[in-house]
Amino acid sequence: MSIQEYWIAFYTIVHKEISRFTRIWAQTLLPPAITMTLYFVIFGNLIGSRIGEMGGFSYMQFIVPGLIMMSVITNSYSNVVSSFYGARFQKSIEELLVSPTPNWIILSGFILGGVARGLTVGLIVTMLSLFFTDLHLHNVWITILVVLMTSILFALGGFINAMFARSFDDISIVPTFILTPLTYLGGVFYSISLLPEFWQGVSMLNPILYMVNTFRYGILGVSDIDVVYALSAVAVFIVSMFTLALTLLNKGKGIRS
Amino acid sequence: MTKALSIRGLKKVYGNGFVALKGIDLDVEQGDFFALLGPNGAGKSTTLGIVSSLVNKSEGSVSIFGVDVDKDFSTAKRFLGVVPQEFNFNQFEKVEDIILSQAGYYGIHRAEAKIRAEQFLKELGLWDKRDNAARMLSGGMKRRLMIARALIHKPRLLILDEPTAGVDIELRRSMWEFIKKINREEGTTIILTTHYLEEAESLCRNIAIIDQGEIVKNTSIKALLAQLNTEVFIMDTSEVMVEAPQVESFETTLIDEHSFEVIMQRGQHLNEVFTRLNAIGVNISSMRTKSNRLEELFVELVEHDHKKDGAKDRSNGNASKLKEKVSA
């Protein structure tokens, strides 16, 4: 295939993915908007007003970056896992497998689809947060970079989950039992400096902590961890997971008998 | 001339140890209308799955128009269009979008893809349904949608895996007219699997019969039918009969008071039957074959193979028993 043909194939997958989640917006875009608004009202306004400041900012300002990141993580992941597993389940993945589209284009297309949904929801949540607090960007490039990298990483996670899944139940196990607890324990609602030393050490093993804090640094300029170290760690995770996902795709895990 | 499809030593062993293909060789000529027949579980879909990259092979090689799929999968796949046995499209997508996406996967510009989609959807009677979600289509329409999708990149080799299963007669005929047209006019090589053997007999020029992972026959339909030893014809007459007419050199059996069957051996001619029936005053009003000729041969070949295996199994069983006795 020529470069132009590669581009057409890639664009087709991305276009199809974006059309899918915008077509079913009531299932994909509306629920996170409602959930996050409730978080802002209950945690930010009602409870937050009694907590006072955290890291030198109002509690509402403190949790907004974490909640935006939580939406990006959840939606990037769930878009790819449900779309790719759905394609496997309906066998429509065969449309791609019989075509000359190389596997790295297939993978990149699905990942960009997940990133598109993650960023769309992130933007919606950001706009909603402006009804509750003011947001100032401390470092626009770090903010964009970390949200993009996080989105790519979790879209890759969703892809790998979809390749191993054998039923629709399997695509909800990881988000329910791994992703949600790690996100809640990843410093979305608190600074880890509030934790006893032992639990601070345990928290450092949670990759989501690095992303939430780096994003918070980009917006507020405060972080519990070193930003360069966090970005490097996410980059290593992305390369490792892309390699794993591509290897699984080349072997035909779950898609070729 | 380069073969449209060339398979050498193709073997497939599934994870559970089941040997689906035992190292088959198969060639399909360019422009051919080729039938790949076999009972359920014989290895047809596995073979076609490997050719279309949906199944991983264990051993062997596959070349499409001389291009080895392992060495240059991109070029090889461009030559190939696949209509699978099961519906494999997103049921929630619109008909036209399914076709346009498939074109995109082959790197075809959207403007060109739209022209082709309109052409194929019109030819297959789906143009009015282009904005409908695929799930709203009838079974026959879904089959035609898969044909249109498989043709969007103008493949030189089209694989049809039981495309008429569950399709009514009228629709089946129109589908075959369309497929015959692209075979004749575009020179597209067609490989067909079907359980309707009369379809294979009337459409295909060459045939391979696969059973238990092995090719048991690979020849032309004409040559295969020439192997038929007996053929049974049912003859109807307006006269009332109490017994089947006695026709010298032919075996006859009464079916009911207006019809009887005649068994013809290879080398015998229908003219002889008519001459003799005429001589004894029996007038034939209509005549038909008792069963599909290819079907008879197919059953004979497959059953013969199973009997051989049964004998082999029995002898293996005896051998094991013998071993048990020796070791005891």
Is residue B84 within 8 angstroms of chain A, CB to CB?
A: yes
Whether the predicted pLDDT of A229 surpasses 70: yes
Q: What is the mean pLDDT of residues A25-48?
A: 89
Chain B 86-115, residues with CB within 8 Å of chain A CB atoms: 86-91, 97-98, 100-102, 104-110
pLDDT score, position B313? 47
Query: What is the C-alpha separation between B87 and A47, in angstroms, rounded?
Result: 53
Q: B227-289 maps to which CATH number? A: 3.30.70
Q: Is residue A203 part of a domain?
A: yes
Q: Is residue A50 part of a domain?
A: no
Q: Is residue A257 part of a domain?
A: no
Angle separating helix axes A3-23 and B95-105, nearest 10 degrees = 150
Would the CB atoms of B107 and A2 count as touching at under 8 Å? yes
Complete DSSP assignment for A221-232 = S--SS-HHHHHH
Is residue B17 within 8 angstroms of chain A, CB to CB?
A: no
Q: Which residue of A has its CA nearest to B107?
A: A5
Cα–Cα separations (whole angstroms), residue B287 to B9, B198, B252: 46, 18, 14
Interface of A with B (CB under 8 A): 1-2, 4-6, 8-9, 11-13, 15-16, 19, 86-87, 90-92, 94-102, 252, 256-257
pLDDT score, position B122? 93
Would the CB atoms of B78 and A100 count as touching at under 8 Å? yes
Instruction: Give the residue among A11, A158, A29, A23 at the shortest CA–CA distance from A84.
Output: A158
ipTM of the complex: 0.87
B contacts of A9 (beta carbons < 8 Å): 104-107
pLDDT-derived band at B324 (thresholds 50, 70, 90) equals very low
What are B267-299's pLDDT values in tens digits? 788 888 898 888 888 889 998 887 666 666 676
pLDDT-derived band at B318 (thresholds 50, 70, 90) equals very low
Would the CB atoms of A95 and B49 count as touching at under 8 Å? no
* Position with higher pLDDT, A37 vs A50: A37
CB B12 within 8 A of CB B44: no
pLDDT score, position B309? 55
Instruction: Give the residue among A86, A74, A175 at the shortest CA–CA distance from A118.
Output: A74
pLDDT score, position A133? 86
Whether the predicted pLDDT of A143 surpasses 90: yes
What are A194-219's pLDDT values in tens digits? 888 888 888 888 888 888 889 889 98
Query: What is the C-alpha separation between B233 and B284, in angstroms, rounded?
Result: 12
Which strand ranges, in their side-by-side order, compose the sheet holding B19-28?
A: B19-28, B5-13, B59-64, B67-68
Q: What is the mean pLDDT of residues B209-227?
A: 85
Q: Is residue A99 part of a domain?
A: yes
What are B187-196's pLDDT values in tens digits? 999 999 987 7
Would the CB atoms of B86 and A91 count as touching at under 8 Å? yes
pLDDT score, position B292? 62
Query: Which domain covers residue A149, as residue numbers?
Result: 3-45+57-251
The overall average pLDDT reported for chain A is 91
Q: Is residue A87 part of a domain?
A: yes
Tell me the percentage of chain A whose pLDDT exceeds 70: 100
Q: Which residue of A has its CA nearest to B98?
A: A95
Is residue B13 within 8 angstroms of chain A, CB to CB?
A: no
DSSP B88: -
pTM value is 0.82
Query: What is the C-alpha separation between B39 and B25, in angstroms, rounded?
Result: 19
DSSP B214: E
Locate the domains of chain B by residue range: 5-225, 227-289
Which amino acid is it at B161?
D
What are A144-203's pLDDT values in tens digits? 999 999 999 999 999 999 999 998 889 888 888 888 888 888 888 888 888 888 888 888
CATH architecture of structural domain B5-225: 3-Layer(aba) Sandwich (3.40)
Number of folded domains that form chain A: 1
pLDDT-derived band at B316 (thresholds 50, 70, 90) equals very low
Query: What is the C-alpha separation between B216 and A222, in angstroms, rounded?
Result: 74
What are B46-102's pLDDT values in tens digits? 999 999 999 999 999 999 999 999 999 889 999 999 999 889 999 999 999 999 999
